Chain A
């Protein structure tokens, strides 16, 4: 499964709409196989969502998100786990052990 997490240092970015970086992570068989961070700070609203679909992201983890963005993401068939806070690594651990936050 490929997931995307909006990143602010080691933490989840507080606001998806204003996030500058996004970490793309491949998780297979409870293992994190690959991680890259991309700069999304200068992307337009539609381009941010396009990046997700172009990269075949299946699930997005983020902090607060406006309805405008959440509708766009969900309309693209991507699952959304929003209003999360804290360290990215902690979130990734829950993904590894299939204990995804609701």
Chain B
């Protein structure tokens, strides 16, 4: 046996022993070798595969749009572990990762390419198990702060004490409310929500407490309020920090006496509800500035949860991305398998002022634009690219106040001194930003972003 054929035999033996599918193609993309695992994964025997175009044998999700082997042969660059799926002979979608490289002869001339593919079904199953491990009701997280909340929720849910949830917009306060209600003994009764910040005082009062016929001009008949609708169940008062001092007094009375008077009624009505309130403001700061009553704060703040912003739990981003991919695949009937490492890196760099809701919207945006099976950076919203290169330069600051001042100033400059946009980017309320600007003595230009159309 010649040295060359001995070497070829050895190579064939090696390819037959390894646990990955391996096949080679010539420059016309026709299969020239096909190992045992390739047969097993595709369900196609070697004799049938040999000499055929690889797309008619492998049937991957990217054959038509972005063939990895073709890309490698044309660009001279290998591809490593790209996640795709193949459809095997039984019609099952098998998730695999593929890697490609060039094949050259002894003169360095390109004679084709080699592709290896690995079944990652088990990895996918484990990934799903992990997601389950980090899921509590509808909340997904692996962050220690949220895990602590997961541990307390069942106990808190069993009691009837008021709950106060603090956290920026989009951190999942409503999910927490639903979890508490579902795990409580009131779960067969209604959960009634109201956004206190969305309604003016007069309307909020009639919404919360209802009214009697004739209470005002348009009150043609009795209308029950949200408290009445939530009787024996749970009422969720969102954006509680936005209500007026007058409404705060009325709410305090319900919490203290478990009764209220509908508009136009002289008779008190008793109510049995569990009150959960939420705010994206710092209530204790509002108490300090006399915008929120201390007694109401103490009534609500018996059990307090703080939902951390997404930028403080970056470890959750990959888990949440997986969750949203699976959610939108079902919703849009698509089969996006994964997000590319570059696109994930872009998400990890973003500050997410809109928190989990913004992340969800970003993935939904990508679903609209992505026609392949992998979300790429170009599918993500423009804002994410805009912030990708941004680095906040902190000059030689000595105190934390100086660091904070520089941080806020650079954010203001970035947003052309528009304070609302800056507050949104920093994930703080605009009044908090105003206070900080004043306290830290940040100088604002005479003409700023407020005048910009």
Return chain B residues, CB-CB under 8 Å to A83.
Answer: 89
Binds A, one of B143-151, B317-325, B328-336, B439-447: B328-336
A18-54 residues at the B interface, CB under 8 angstroms: 18-20, 41-42, 44-48
Q: How far is the CB of A83 from chain B (nearest CB, A)?
A: 8
Structural contact, A63 and B59, CB atoms closer than 8 A? yes
Q: Which range contains the number of A residues in contact with the other chain?
A: 20 to 34
The answer to whether A81 has its CB under 8 Å from any CB of chain B is: no
CA distance A13 to B56 in the complex (A): 9
Structural contact, A42 and B371, CB atoms closer than 8 A? yes
Structural contact, A45 and B61, CB atoms closer than 8 A? no
B43-99 residues at the A interface, CB under 8 angstroms: 52-53, 55-56, 59-65, 87, 89-93
The answer to whether A15 has its CB under 8 Å from any CB of chain B is: yes
- Among A14, A17, A48, chain B packs the most CB atoms within 10 A around the CB of A14
With beta carbons under 8 angstroms apart, the residue of B59, B89, B90, B333 that contacts A15 is: B59
Q: How far is the CB of B371 from chain A (nearest CB, A)?
A: 5
B342-377 residues at the A interface, CB under 8 angstroms: 371-373
Structural contact, B333 and A17, CB atoms closer than 8 A? no
With beta carbons under 8 angstroms apart, the residue of B52, B56, B65, B332 that contacts A63 is: B56
The answer to whether A64 has its CB under 8 Å from any CB of chain B is: yes
CA distance A66 to B53 in the complex (A): 20
Structural contact, B91 and A20, CB atoms closer than 8 A? no
Known contacts being A65-B91, A66-B91, A67-B91, is A18 close to B333, with CB within 8 Å? Answer: no
Q: How far is the CB of B263 from chain A (nearest CB, A)?
A: 48
Q: How far is the CB of A11 from chain B (nearest CB, A)?
A: 9
The number of inter-chain residue pairs (CB within 8 angstroms) is: 60
Return chain A residues, CB-CB under 8 Å to B59.
Answer: 14-15, 63-64
Return chain A residues, CB-CB under 8 Å to B61.
Answer: 15, 17-18
Structural contact, A14 and B332, CB atoms closer than 8 A? no
Q: How far is the CB of A7 from chain B (nearest CB, A)?
A: 10
Structural contact, B335 and A20, CB atoms closer than 8 A? no
Return chain A residues, CB-CB under 8 Å to B93.
Answer: 17, 66, 68
Structural contact, A15 and B371, CB atoms closer than 8 A? no
Q: Which range contains the number of B residues in contact with the other chain?
A: 20 to 34
Which residue in chain B gives the minimum CB-CB distance to A44? B333
Q: How far is the CB of A42 from chain B (nearest CB, A)?
A: 6
Structural contact, B56 and A85, CB atoms closer than 8 A? yes
Q: How far is the CB of B326 from chain A (nearest CB, A)?
A: 14
Q: How far is the CB of B337 from chain A (nearest CB, A)?
A: 11
- Among B59, B60, B93, chain A packs the most CB atoms within 10 A around the CB of B59
Structural contact, B63 and A66, CB atoms closer than 8 A? no
Q: How far is the CB of A15 from chain B (nearest CB, A)?
A: 5
CA distance A20 to B64 in the complex (A): 8
- Among B62, B64, B333, chain A packs the most CB atoms within 10 A around the CB of B64
Return chain A residues, CB-CB under 8 Å to B56.
Answer: 14, 63, 85
Return chain B residues, CB-CB under 8 Å to A20.
Answer: 64-65, 371
Known contacts being A14-B55, A41-B371, is A64 close to B87, with CB within 8 Å? Answer: yes
With beta carbons under 8 angstroms apart, the residue of A19, A44, A64, A65 that contacts B332 is: A44
Return chain A residues, CB-CB under 8 Å to B335.
Answer: 17-18, 45
CA distance A83 to B91 in the complex (A): 10
Return chain A residues, CB-CB under 8 Å to B371.
Answer: 20, 41-42
Which residue in chain B gives the minimum CB-CB distance to A46? B333
Structural contact, A15 and B64, CB atoms closer than 8 A? yes
B90-134 residues at the A interface, CB under 8 angstroms: 90-93
Return chain A residues, CB-CB under 8 Å to B55.
Answer: 14
With beta carbons under 8 angstroms apart, the residue of B52, B92, B332, B334 that contacts A67 is: B92
Which residues of B are interface residues toward A (Cβ below 8 A)? 52-53, 55-56, 59-65, 87, 89-93, 332-335, 371-373
Which residues of A are interface residues toward B (Cβ below 8 A)? 8, 13-15, 17-20, 41-42, 44-48, 63-68, 70, 83, 85
Some 12 contacts from A to B, beta carbons below 8 A apart, are A14-B63, A15-B60, A15-B63, A17-B61, A18-B61, A18-B62, A45-B333, A46-B333, A64-B59, A65-B91, A66-B87, A67-B92
The 9 closest A-B pairs by CB, nearest first: A44-B333, A45-B333, A64-B59, A67-B91, A14-B55, A64-B87, A85-B56, A14-B63, A44-B332
